[in-house]
Structure 1
Amino acid sequence: MPSLRSLRRATGPLLAVALMTLTPPALSGNFLAQAHTPAAAPSSLLAQRLTRLAPNADPEVLRLAARALHCADPEAERLAVIDFSRPSTEERLWVFDLRQARLLFRELVSHGQGSGDAMASDFSNTPDSHQSSLGLFRTLNSYQGSNGYSLRLEGLEPGVNDLAFERAIVMHGADYVSEAFIERTGRLGRSHGCPAVRSEVAVPLIDSLKDSQYLFTYYPDPEWLAQSEFLRCPRGDQGDQRLAMQ
């Protein structure tokens, strides 16, 4: 009778062949190594999607916007992004439909009189400063006001933009936001801190953003970048990776 050791020697190669035969093709190659690679964070995936939809925007700005939005409301349907590091003569406002993965608007947008001339450089949360504010906002209702059809904004960042409602910082149309105004003056006209857009697009743009959507306004301000609760969110990229792997 063959010994147990001899049986092991004889069946060992056969068992290995059987296991290789039963192993699905998907498990060959680098699949097992790839299976242990962390999944991309949801905010990173959103940033990639935004970059594809708006290739002329700064990818780093879109990454920060995606991170802030994911922190505030991962299920949001619409997002507007303003890059105040660009001059007012350039299109620096993008509105995204996140559900349909579409870029709805790419537009000129004004900054406040107190924030600068063609280039914005100063931002605040101070009433009567006529300065724009940075950070993440939630949109409220639309209404007819002294500037026509307008959109109320709720600043979500304490000490940064949370007085926006009190300051009457709203989105509205303005005749000083136009290519013709740029040709005459070398810049857009300026508001009292409101993100004003072209009169021709004010109604559809506001309608796309009203009622609990989001606006993210950016400028490379070191203090805000370091302290923003939405950019240092516990649900950041590392936490997102854990969620994506579950």
Structure 2
Amino acid sequence: MKKAIYLFILVFCYLPLQVSASSTHSNSYSNVNSPDVVIKHVYKEANLKGVIDFQVFKEGYNAYYNTKGRKKQLLTIIDYSKPSTEKRFFVIDLKRNKLVYHTYVSHGVNSGGREATRFSNIVNSRQTSLGTFLTDTTYYGGNGYSLRLDGMTHGVNDNARRRYIVVHGADYATESFIQRHGYLGRSWGCPALPKGLSRQIIDTIKGGSVIYAHA
């Protein structure tokens, strides 16, 4: 009898610990987990240390969490504080806590040369926009297979549709272009990706995932 009571107490005390431990693996905020706990957990599990600056990832994760209408557990971060010669486009699967793409991305021709220093929301500025975007549908245009974006940050990128800011592939967004010219080619404000990767990345992030552009 004493043994049965002991087992009951052991199981009763252990169950709450299991629930608490499992809750830290959920990529959403709760009364138990503070935002910082969740963000640090995802950052660690996805092995992002030394790949993405933690503060940039934190801003991106908060943008993801606060974006209404998102349909996918994917977060794309573009870190324009890095020069175009570095891989600064990151796609993170928040369901599996895994970095799935890490590649080059262009900035606007009027945003700067090797580094982007000027940003705009103005039509025809040919500058890059910062802030939070939500991906939409795909289409074939002048730059081939492309992905429409909606700017979600008021006054910062909400003219994305009017400016035709889309994700697309480009020959000038490749490592070979950097080797020839010493910098990545520039767009008219679109985040252009290497052509060899652009289609598969677009197909991964299309249809309601969050992009966060930082500088």
Q: Give the TM interval when normalised to the shorter protein.
A: 0.7 to 0.9
Asked if 1:67 is matched to 2:62, the reply is yes
Partner of 2:134: 138
- Determine the structure 2 residue equivalent to 1:49: 42
Q: Percent identity of the aligned residues?
A: 39
Matched, 1:118 2:111: no
Question: Equivalent residue of 1:114, what SS?
Answer: coil
Q: Give the number of the structure whose alpha-carbon radius of gyration is greater.
A: 1
Root-mean-square deviation over aligned CA pairs = 2.4
The CA distance in 1 between the partners of 2:37 and 2:147, in whole Å, is 29
* Runs of 5+ unmatched residues, structure 2: 1-7, 18-30
Structure 1 runs not aligned, ≥5 long: 1-21, 32-37, 220-246
**Residue-pair matches, total:** 192
Summarize the Cα distance change of 1:39–1:120 in structure 2 as closer, same or farther, 3 Å threshold: same
Alpha-carbon deviation of 1:158? 1.1
Classify the secondary structure of the residue corresponding to 1:204.
helix
1:115 match: secondary structure? coil
Conservation of the 8 A alpha-carbon contact between 1:115 and 1:121? yes
**Structure with the largest fraction of helix:** 1
Regions of 4+ moved over 3 Å: 22-27, 73-76
Question: Is the CA contact (8 Å cut-off) linking 2:45 and 2:98 kept in structure 1?
Answer: no
Question: Is the Cα–Cα contact under 8 Å of residues 140 and 154 in structure 1 kept in the other structure?
Answer: yes
Report the Cα offset of residue 116 of structure 1. 0.6
Q: Which moved more, 1:96-105 or 1:59-68?
A: 96-105
Alignment partners' CA distance in 1, 2:45 and 2:180: 34
Equivalences for residues 41-190 of structure 1 within 5 A: 41-42=34-35, 44-53=37-46, 54-55=48-49, 56-73=51-68, 76-190=72-186
Give the TM-score, by structure 1 length. Answer: 0.71
Counterpart residue identity of residue 45, structure 1: V
Distance in 2, matches of 1:110 and 1:41, equals 35
**Residues 121 and 103 from structure 1, CA distance in 2 versus in 1: closer, same or farther, beyond 3 angstroms?**
same
